[in-house]
Amino acid sequence: MSAFSVLFRREMRLAMRQSADSFMVIGFFVIAVVLFPFGVGPEPNMLARIGPGVIWVAALLAAMLSMDRMFMGDYEDGSLELLVLSPVALELVVCVKVLTHWLTTGLPLILTAPLLFVMMNVPGEIWLVLLLTLVLGTPVLSLLGSVGAALTLGARRGGVLLSLLVLPLLIPVLIFAVGAGDAVLFGNGAKANLMLLGGMLLGALALTPWVTAHALREAVA
């Protein structure tokens, strides 16, 4: 069996047996969005205007919520040292961790999003584009989050610090994702925005596993 599938099956098994974590992320996502109609008033046009942005920001925060757990368990019980010392490339371990994180947070967020589109009165013609931005954007959250999670291992108040470090770097993703919806509404087409998001995803995919692996080696040294 290949190293990838050995790692992947272990991660999925661990995630499945702690599936409450995933539901908590979804719960946070929904509640954070639901607060807005109370905060800014339930006027449908207003909600439709701010809906995509609110949903994206909530998704960002929800993804951050589970980010610090990415390596924490392995760091605390000594598994991380052994993963660093295993004959398998650490970059591969990182990729598997990121993939599992995305499957247990990013994917559920995408699946929940349509429900929130309805509740926030988001216009039907931008649903597809917004879902596409989530598909392209949430993996970037997991990838960049992995860098932050690795850097803050063993730090005091690691979770808060992680958000402080990673959220500013995610601003471009937010801008272009929400911009895609606006572009469709203004009749410009979202192709440019989606291409940029795709570019960010490819860039993150190429660089972050390497940076994260380096940060993990430092964390156990």
Partner 1 sequence: MAVFSGRHIDCIRGERQVLSAAAFSLESGGALMLRGINGAGKSTMLRLMAGLMRPVSGVITWDGVDISDDPQEHNARLAYVGHADAVKPALSVLENVTFWSKLAGAGGMDASDALAALGIGHLTDLPARYLSAGQRRRVNLTRALTSGAELWLLDEPTTALDAATAEALTSLIERHLKSGGMAVVSTHAELGLAETGTLTLGGTA
Partner 2 sequence: MLHYFANPTRFQRLSRRVEPWLLAAMLVCFGAGLYFALFSSPVDYQQGHTVRIMYIHVPAAWMALFCYTAMAVSAAVALIWKHALADVAAKATAPIGAAFTFLALVTGSLWGKPMWGTWWVWDARLTSVLVLFFLYLGYMALRDAFDEPGRGARASAILVLVGFVNVPIIKFSVDWWNTLHQPSSVLRMDGPTIHPDMLTPLFLMAAAFQFYYFWLVLLRIRRELMVNRTRALRHRQASA
Residues 94 and 212 sit within 8 Å (Cβ to Cβ):
yes
What is the number of other CB atoms lying within 10 angstroms of the CB of residue 121? Answer: 16
At 50, phi and psi to the nearest 5? -90, -10
Q: In which region does residue 155 sit, left (phi positive, over 0), alpha (psi from -120 to 50) or beta (all else)?
A: beta
Residue 206 as a binder of partner 2 (CB under 8 A): the answer is: no
Among 78, 114, 154, 199, binds partner 2 (CB under 8 A): 154
For tokens 């050995």, what's the residue? 6
For tokens 């994180």, what's the residue? 101
Task: Identify which of residues 34 and 214 has a Cβ nearer to partner 2 in the complex.
Answer: 214
Task: Identify which of residues 4 and 127 has a Cβ nearer to partner 1 in the complex.
Answer: 4
Among 24, 28, 50, 86, binds partner 1 (CB under 8 A): 86
Binding to partner 1 in span 12-51, by CB under 8 A: 13-14, 17-18
- Work out the angle between the directed axes of helices 90-101 and 191-220 (0-180°, nearest 10): 130
Residue 1 as a binder of partner 1 (CB under 8 A): the answer is: yes
Residue 50 as a binder of partner 2 (CB under 8 A): the answer is: no
Smallest separation (angstroms) from partner 2 to the CB of 172: 8
Binding to partner 2 in span 161-190, by CB under 8 A: 161, 164-165, 168-169, 171-172, 175
User: Could you say which of partner 1, partner 2, none residue 171 binds, taking C-beta under 5 to 8 angstroms by partner kind?
Assistant: partner 2
Count of residues engaged in binding partner 2, rule: CB under 8 A = 21
- Exposure string of 95-109, with b = 16+ CB inside 10 Å and e = fewer, is bbbbbbbbbbbbbbb
Residue in 70, 77, 91 with CA at minimum distance from that of residue 217: 91
Interaction site with partner 1 (CB under 8 A): 1, 3, 6-7, 10, 13-14, 17-18, 73, 76-79, 81-82, 84-89, 220-221
